[in-house]
Amino acid sequence: MRAFWVVLFLWCCASAAEDGPVKIGPRVGDAAAWGIGESVADLPLKFLDGPAGKLSDYSLRAALVVATIAPDCPVSQKYLPRLAELQKKYDAQHVEFLLLNSSGDAPAMLRTALKRSGLALPVVLDDAAELAQALHAKVTTDVFVLDPGRKLVYRGAIDDQYGIGYERDAASRNYLGDALDAVLAHRAVATAATLAPGCELTFPARPAVASSGAAVTFHNTISRLMQNNCQQCHRPGGVGPFPLQSYNEVKKKANVIRRVTSTRVMPPWFADNSIGHAWANNRRLSDGDLKSLLEWIDAKCPEGEAKDAPPPRVWEKGAEDWNIGTPDAIVQIPQPVKLPAQGTMPYQYIKVQTNFTEDKWVQAVELLPTNPAVVHHAQVFVVTAEGKELSDPTPTNGGRPTSYFAAMVPGETALVFPAGYAKLLPRGCSLTFEVHYVPNGAPASDQIRVGMVFARTAPKFEVKSFDIRTNNLLIKPGDANYSQSTEYTFETPARLLAFQPHMHLRGKAFSFDLILPDGRTEPVLSVPRYDFNWQTSYRLKEPWDIPKGSRLRVTGWYDNSKDNPANPDPTKTIRAGGETTDEMLVGFGEWCARTDE
């Protein structure tokens, strides 16, 4: 997923904590500074399969495309089918395609990635990164076009359909195709250099000089940071695209880690911690830990002594295991949903009848896909035996006091309530699954299910999910800072538990504010860098009791300009709607009614 990212010119120089953008697309680069017009040395080539060769072997071709790839980079995965399409299109015009792997990935891993994407192209194993450095490759999605004399005529992105933190239905700029068309027509390439969004490459370095015991090493410091802050997702069976458990795994991704941590995109936490209450699920890396991490990367990633490492963290849960323990009941959609290899999909809505003969109180609930790699987020809604949605489809008073029953977002699939708190599941009800699927480079399928653990007795507090929204959105073309607000009045004393902002591709910032009956306003949550790819629920460390008549206001800010790389069409007027290309302003959250006032 899912998502994370920063302006690409910060690739190699980020050294201080500084918030950066979360959506990055291709940018036009300086052709002269990036080697356009220079000749590339006739380097030897070692292939995944087949005999060795050299670059000059392709001098009789009209052009040579060298495309960097990495099977564990999500953006690279999405572009593998596109490379297959381009190879097929230009093969008759004598254009050769080579795939370049400079990440030291295992041959079996590379073969699996090629097979799932339908690619039958030669792969250059560039473990010493000689060719990558000769081409000035920076990321795993860089492509390079060489003429028959090995002169570099284009470098950068394939197109702008996929980037960091976004994806489009189709590309609006086809950089590689345009470059090849120009070369074949003996014309100059109009846009010869772009900065491609992808995962930064980390090249081999000379062995680090032994340091004193006080220096930061992987074993004495960084391994602990990875365990505490990264491995929940970055492990086998986790939702992260690559593991970060061993020294070699972390060192290999050092430049990616530098970017996403120095810009505070990873670990994923987008709230302003200076506003509102303390959060129970705060993932933000401390300033001290971030400083140690960046110092370690700048020192060329010294390994240190294994005796200084903490015991390995044991992750018992895999992709097929439940984080809530063994469920008392599991409800699964009846048939797998099939996904294409590329593009986007509309939300899927599947209704499933349950067979509960009595009301159930749900202590823990978890949504678990059979293929987590293709599920962006999902929700489950309850429809009673009488056909009434517990989440009333017509909000009143600015919102709905009862909304979703269960939800999963990137990195969060399970919800376990403390003793005395539970959700009601009425007898004979049906469940409606709303699932946002994301194709990831190969045909796939998923058959999502929801698991539940029941409380043995009725709870003191019934947990409900509020939904504060407005359809009064009218975002003009090019408007980079449109804002809208709406609010909901609690008609009973309430206990607030969690808050989740929700907008779509043009959303850029979000806030919750509480207006008390005496007129005072208290800030609840500020998310200055909203990211659609991380539908985070911000959970209070301590419940917040508010009086009857309190109003919860939500405000969203939107960027409908061409500078938003996720924007499907900055020339359109945007209104509220359910499709991802429409917009929404919704403040979800959890609360309980109180009877002590």
Q: What is the pLDDT of residue 213?
A: 44
User: String of b and e for 91-104 (b: at least 16 CB within 10 Å)?
Assistant: eeeebbbbbbbbbe
* Residues 6 or more apart whose Cβ sits within 8 Å of residue 303: 208, 217, 218, 219, 247, 251
Q: Which of 500, 511, 590, 591 is nearest to 537 (CA)?
A: 500
**pLDDT tens figures, 7-25:** 222 223 333 345 667 788 8
Beta bridge partners of 526: 511
Q: What is the pLDDT of residue 596?
A: 66
Question: Would you give the distance in Å from CA 93 to the centre of its chain?
Answer: 37
Decide if pLDDT at 207 tops 70.
no
Q: What is the pLDDT of residue 369?
A: 92
User: Do 297 and 254 touch, CB atoms closer than 8 A?
Assistant: yes
> What is the DSSP-derived secondary structure letter of residue 201?
P
| Listed range (68-82, 403-417, 485-499, 582-596) with the worst mean pLDDT | 403-417
User: Do 317 and 238 touch, CB atoms closer than 8 A?
Assistant: no
- Please state, in angstroms and rounded to a whole number, the distance separating the CA atoms of residues 379 and 321: 19
Residue 580: pLDDT band with limits 50, 70, 90: confident
Task: Say what percent of the chain tops pLDDT 70.
Answer: 90
User: Do 333 and 350 touch, CB atoms closer than 8 A?
Assistant: yes
| Listed range (140-144, 370-374, 586-590) with the worst mean pLDDT | 370-374
Mean of the per-residue pLDDT values for the chain?
86
Q: Which of 97, 36, 112, 39 is nearest to 67 (CA)?
A: 97
- Tokens linked to 79: 């572009």
User: Do 429 and 356 touch, CB atoms closer than 8 A?
Assistant: yes
Beta bridge partners of 7: none
Task: Say what percent of the chain tops pLDDT 90.
Answer: 50
Decide if pLDDT at 5 tops 60.
no
Q: Which of 577, 512, 571, 522 is nearest to 546 (CA)?
A: 522
- Tokens linked to 468: 């504060």
Q: What is the pLDDT of residue 283?
A: 85
**pLDDT tens figures, 84-102:** 999 999 999 999 999 999 9
Specify burial of residue 53 (Cβ count, 10 A radius: 0-12, 13-18, 19+): middle
- Please state, in angstroms and rounded to a whole number, the distance separating the CA atoms of residues 393 and 139: 45
**pLDDT tens figures, 514-536:** 999 999 999 999 999 998 888 88
Decide if pLDDT at 208 tops 60.
no
Residue 120: pLDDT band with limits 50, 70, 90: confident
**What is the gyration radius of the CA atoms in the chain, in angstroms?**
26
User: Do 474 and 560 touch, CB atoms closer than 8 A?
Assistant: no
Q: What is the mean pLDDT of residues 439-466?
A: 91
- Please state, in angstroms and rounded to a whole number, the distance separating the CA atoms of residues 126 and 112: 18
Q: What is the pLDDT of residue 594?
A: 87
Q: What is the pLDDT of residue 366?
A: 93
Phi and psi at residue 80, to the nearest 5°: -60, -45
Q: What is the pLDDT of residue 6?
A: 28
| Listed range (315-319, 393-397, 496-500) with the worst mean pLDDT | 393-397
Predicted TM-score (pTM) of this structure: 0.72
Which of 327 and 205 is assigned the larger pLDDT?
Answer: 327
Residue 42: pLDDT band with limits 50, 70, 90: confident
Q: What is the pLDDT of residue 202?
A: 84
**pLDDT tens figures, 529-561:** 998 888 888 999 899 999 999 999 999 999 999
Which of 311 and 171 is assigned the larger pLDDT?
Answer: 171
DSSP 100-142: EE-S---HHHHHHHHHHHT----EEE-TT-HHHHHTT--BTT-
Question: Would you give the distance in Å from CA 62 to the centre of its chain?
Answer: 38
- Please state, in angstroms and rounded to a whole number, the distance separating the CA atoms of residues 523 and 543: 15
Decide if pLDDT at 411 tops 70.
no
Decide if pLDDT at 135 tops 60.
yes
Residue owning tokens 């290309």: 581
Q: What is the pLDDT of residue 69?
A: 93
